[in-house]
Structure formats: structure tokens, C-alpha cells
């Protein structure tokens, strides 16, 4: 895709799932990719290997760098950005992908568990965006940010109150930063995946019966793949999307189309 070659990208939570696919895709588009991971060093190494294979096949000399950092920790974020910038000399792209979810009835969620999810999904995303924007402003060329949100940016999610709030907040994080830094040429967008085949969904991925139940709710009749999320991310970051900012792109097989309205309710 136009304009991605030679850029430097940080992808948080890139040792599995959507983050892994995004890191691999960006490397195949010619980006140098910083693979952030929290604890899964093996997953990060798998990402690096796939990224290398993809870049080689595409004929790009993309490099990768694995950096362990917990995005809920301020000191870790500083170390992540310092290491990335010291290695590649610049930063062009941040993908805020790291995310967790915890299930419990809303009246029973402990304050500690609530904070845990918000601290990774929303506060972590903001603090990484803050560090990226500080670097973008020091450079001659502005950069671009993608927040990995969710259909739960707009669809309420009972039993997952902290996740629901974090993704709702991510919509406003995207729009607020987009507006605040548009004059400097910094673009901020979000992708909002629907049900996607990744480890976060291991309660139904690899269970055909459970997956059939999930599929019934999706107008296109199947879950999304991490690669489909990565393709949309690459598009929003590339030079075909230079007039797009502050938007959330729903990549959800129609999940946000109110599937209950597929048939008329009454004659």
C-alpha cells in the first residue's frame, strides 16, 4: 500500500491475535515494526518470524524489534518508546491494540478488576498515544495512530462493564485526539472489530457448536479473521487514506446493523 515503506510502527500487544496480524501485515508493507508484548516472548518471536517472511516475500528490508512492556505501567511505556526511537531514529505509526476483558455481573465487579481493564484498554492506549504524539511533534513528518476499538464502542455489553466502557471511551479518545492534532497533520482513527477468531475468544473459537451460535448473530454468517482487521488497519494508515481522521471503521460482518431487523417483525 502507498506510503508505508520505510515507516516505523509500534504495535502494542503484538504477540497474538489481531496485533500479531497487524504487525505482520505492516512488515509486509515495508514498515519497520516494534513488536510489543506483555509476557508472551514466544508469541512475539512467532510474530517477528512471520513478519520477516512476509517482508522478504514482498521484497522489503523491514526490520522488527521485540520490546517487553506492560501498557498499564507508565515506566514500561516510556521504555517501549525510548527503545523504539533509539533503534529506528523515528516513529510514524502507533497501533494501540493491547486489550483485555473480564466477565462479571456489573454489580459484582471489584474496583481492582475494573481498574485493571480500564488501565490496559483505555488509560494504556491514551498514554501510548500521548508518547507517540510527543514524538510526532518533534519530527518533520506527522504520524498516524490506529486504536483497536470494538463493536462494543457502540453496542452495550452486559457482564463486561469495564470492557464496554473502555471501548466506548476509545471512540472519544480517537475523535478528541484527531481534532486536537489535525492542524499538525496527525491522523487518528480506530478499527472496530466484530467477533474475530483470536485467543481472546477461546470460549467459542475451536468449539464448532459455540461458534455456530456466534455465527447466527452475524449477518455475514461467520467471524472475522485477524488478517481482515490488519488489512483495514493498513489501509487507514497508508497514503490512500490521507483525508480520513477521527473515524471508527467497523469491520464486523454487519454486526452493528441490528441483525434482529433482518426479517420484518410483523406482517
- Interface with ligand NAD by CB under 6 A: which residues? 12-13, 15-19, 36, 38, 40, 70-72, 97-100, 120, 148, 150, 193, 195-196, 198-201
CB of 119 to ligand NAD, least distance (A): 8
Nearer to ligand NAD, 62 or 72 (CB): 72
Which cell numbers hold the place of 215? Answer: 455465527
Which cell numbers hold the place of 124? Answer: 494504556
User: CA 36, CA 38: separation in Å to the nearest integer?
Assistant: 7
Q: Any idea which residue has 470492557 for its cell?
A: 163
Which cell numbers hold the place of 174? Answer: 480517537
Nearer to ligand NAD, 50 or 201 (CB): 201
CB of 3 to ligand NAD, least distance (A): 24
163 is catalytic: yes
CB of 59 to ligand NAD, least distance (A): 28
**C-alpha dist (Å) from residue 209 to 169, 193, 197, 213, 214:** 33, 22, 15, 7, 9
Instruction: Using alpha carbons, select from 192, 174, 237, 243 the residue that is nearest to residue 31.
Output: 237
Q: Rounded to 5 degrees, what are φ and ψ at 96? A: -85, 90
Nearer to ligand NAD, 30 or 224 (CB): 224
CB of 216 to ligand NAD, least distance (A): 16
CB of 29 to ligand NAD, least distance (A): 19
User: CA 240, CA 236: separation in Å to the nearest integer?
Assistant: 8
Q: Crossing angle, helix 41-58 and helix 17-28, to 10 degrees?
A: 30
Instruction: Using alpha carbons, select from 167, 233, 222, 164 the residue that is nearest to residue 196.
Output: 222
Maximum alpha-carbon separation in the chain: 66
**C-alpha dist (Å) from residue 147 to 85, 88, 178, 219, 234:** 20, 22, 11, 24, 12
Selecting among 37, 160, 163, 181, the annotated active-site residue is 163
DSSP letters along 108-163, please?
G--HHHHHHHHIIIIIHHHHHHHHHHHHHHHSSS--EEEEE--GGGTS--TT-HHH
CB of 177 to ligand NAD, least distance (A): 17
Nearer to ligand NAD, 8 or 16 (CB): 16
Nearer to ligand NAD, 4 or 18 (CB): 18
Nearer to ligand NAD, 30 or 99 (CB): 99
List, by residue number, the catalytic residues: 163
Amino acid at each position: 500500500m502507498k506510503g508505508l515503506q520505510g515507516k516505523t510502527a509500534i504495535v502494542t500487544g503484538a504477540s497474538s491475535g489481531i496485533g500479531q496480524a497487524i504487525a505482520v501485515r505492516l512488515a509486509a508493507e515495508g514498515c519497520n515494526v516494534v513488536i510489543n508484548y506483555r509476557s508472551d516472548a514466544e508469541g512475539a518471536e512467532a510474530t517477528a518470524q512471520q513478519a520477516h517472511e512476509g517482508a522478504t516475500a514482498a521484497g522489503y528490508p523491514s526490520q522488527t524489534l521485540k520490546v517487553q512492556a506492560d501498557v498499564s505501567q507508565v515506566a514500561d511505556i516510556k521504555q517501549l518508546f525510548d527503545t523504539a526511537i533509539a533503534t529506528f531514529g523515528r516513529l510514524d505509526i502507533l497501533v494501540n491494540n493491547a486489550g483485555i476483558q473480564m466477565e462479571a455481573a456489573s454489580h459484582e465487579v471489584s474496583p481492582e478488576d475494573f481498574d485493571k481493564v480500564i488501565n490496559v484498554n483505555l488509560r494504556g492506549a491514551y498514554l501510548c498515544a500521548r508518547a507517540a504524539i510527543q514524538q510526532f511533534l518533534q519530527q518533520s513528518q506527522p504520524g498516524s495512530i490506529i486504536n483497536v476499538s470494538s463493536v462494543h464502542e457502540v453496542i452495550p455489553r452486559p457482564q463486561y462493564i469495564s470492557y464496554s466502557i473502555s471501548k466506548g471511551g476509545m471512540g472519544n479518545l480517537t475523535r478528541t485526539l484527531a481534532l486536537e492534532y489535525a492542524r499538525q497533520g496527525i491522523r487518528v482513527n480506530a478499527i472496530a472489530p466484530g467477533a474475530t477468531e483470536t485467543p481472546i475468544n477461546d470460549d467459542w473459537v475451536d468449539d464448532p457448536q459455540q461458534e455456530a451460535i456466534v455465527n447466527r448473530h452475524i449477518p455475514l454468517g461467520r467471524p472475522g479473521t485477524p488478517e481482515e482487521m490488519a488489512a483495514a488497519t493498513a489501509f487507514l494508515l497508508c497514503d490512500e487514506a490521507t483525508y480520513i481522521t477521527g473515524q471508527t471503521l467497523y469491520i464486523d460482518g454487519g454486526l452493528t446493523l441490528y441483525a434482529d431487523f433482518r426479517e420484518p417483525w410483523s406482517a
